[in-house]
Structure 1
């Protein structure tokens, strides 16, 4: 990844949710001996792209302690209860004001235990070679996160409703998407049953 333009792609990690279906913080669940939030941040940093921005909300104090020693910028979204869209907009506001030369951004979430820096690098590599402005992860016959958006979509992302996620922008631009296979991307940890199955 010697192209300096590809170093200007920040990663926005959405980790503000309360894990209500889980009954406890999924960000603190141990995966390979580490809290899931920590493991995810390490993979994002290892992708060696632009700055990593982490949006926290529920249980922000406990979650901050896990990652405060890493080279990430932490945003606390006090409106996290309004929905994922509010966290997307909080992170995007920071990117457009503090990282105005960003060529694109990657939106990732904190409940995909199989996410690796290799997959993130492949999103960026695909973007660098494609004329498409969105590079999504492909799994379970759909497009999802992590997803890379060219800066041409920043304005639309800034206008999504709080209860909406970036999926709306994906659905509005299906002819302008390319994808990278992520077969294990649909394995997420939303419930204790999910976690127990994953841990077996």
Structure 2
């Protein structure tokens, strides 16, 4: 079985007041940490979805070996990037959706989620910390077509809730692995909490 990756980094980041994809974390932009972790994993193909400020973000990144797509409809919500990522890419048994503002994701966590998906073959795999679901999420073939029906900024949350009986949740012990950056306070807390040795690509 194969799983490809789609990195969602098209959003405007309005709560940050600036282009959060390029905020530095130990010398690298936030989204570069995600790219590096995904490239070091077992994911068979990577697609990066950009949108807002893509003309500034893309030149600042090392996207070697990554397919980059520009989402002109990013303002309509994350679901438009999900649709774009599903529609463009090689055939695979599953698609992992990673957030571009989740810089502490590691190749080990990605590989573990893929291993669970390939061995147990659920419809989806979702990491959890203390009963709270997080990202990245893997969607299997059973949910891919239905994922085209989600809209707005909910991503695949409604889809996963609707098919909860077929979703495999995987507990993680480190909350930093699932932490994303939505506000300036989130960013400052992350910078303070994460030494360089703990970052996926540092």
Please report the TM-score for the alignment, with normalisation by the length of structure 1: 0.89
Q: CA deviation at 1:57?
A: 0.4
Distance 1:41 1:24 in 2: 20
Q: CA deviation at 1:24?
A: 1.0
**After alignment, is 77-86 or 163-172 more displaced?**
163-172
1:194 corresponds, among 186, 189, 192, to: 186
- Name 2:103's counterpart in structure 1: 113
Distance 1:110 1:9 in 2: 18
**After alignment, is 66-75 or 45-54 more displaced?**
66-75
- Name 1:57's counterpart in structure 2: 51
Q: Cα gap change, 1:186/1:106 in structure 2, threshold over 3 Å: closer, same or farther?
A: closer
Q: CA deviation at 1:68?
A: 5.1
Residues 1:145 and 2:139 aligned together: no
Q: CA deviation at 1:16?
A: 0.3
Structure 1 residue runs of 4+, over 4 Å off?
A: none
- Name 1:21's counterpart in structure 2: 15
Question: How many pairs align?
Answer: 190
Q: Cα gap change, 1:186/1:42 in structure 2, threshold over 3 Å: closer, same or farther?
A: closer
Residues 1:31 and 2:21 aligned together: no
TM-superposition CA deviations, 1:62-101 (whole Å, max 9, x none): 1111335411001100000000001100111113xxx13x
Q: Cα gap change, 1:50/1:199 in structure 2, threshold over 3 Å: closer, same or farther?
A: same
Residues 1:170 and 2:164 aligned together: no
Computed over aligned residues only, the root mean square deviation of the Cα atoms, in angstroms, reads: 1.5
**Is the CA contact (8 Å cut-off) linking 2:9 and 2:21 kept in structure 1?**
yes
Q: Which runs of 5+ in 1 are unaligned?
A: none
Q: Cα gap change, 1:187/1:131 in structure 2, threshold over 3 Å: closer, same or farther?
A: closer
Distance 1:13 1:116 in 2: 14
**Is the CA contact (8 Å cut-off) linking 2:93 and 2:140 kept in structure 1?**
yes
**Is the CA contact (8 Å cut-off) linking 1:122 and 1:180 kept in structure 2?**
no
Distance 1:93 1:30 in 2: 31
Distance 2:103 2:130 in 1: 16
**Is the CA contact (8 Å cut-off) linking 2:32 and 2:62 kept in structure 1?**
no
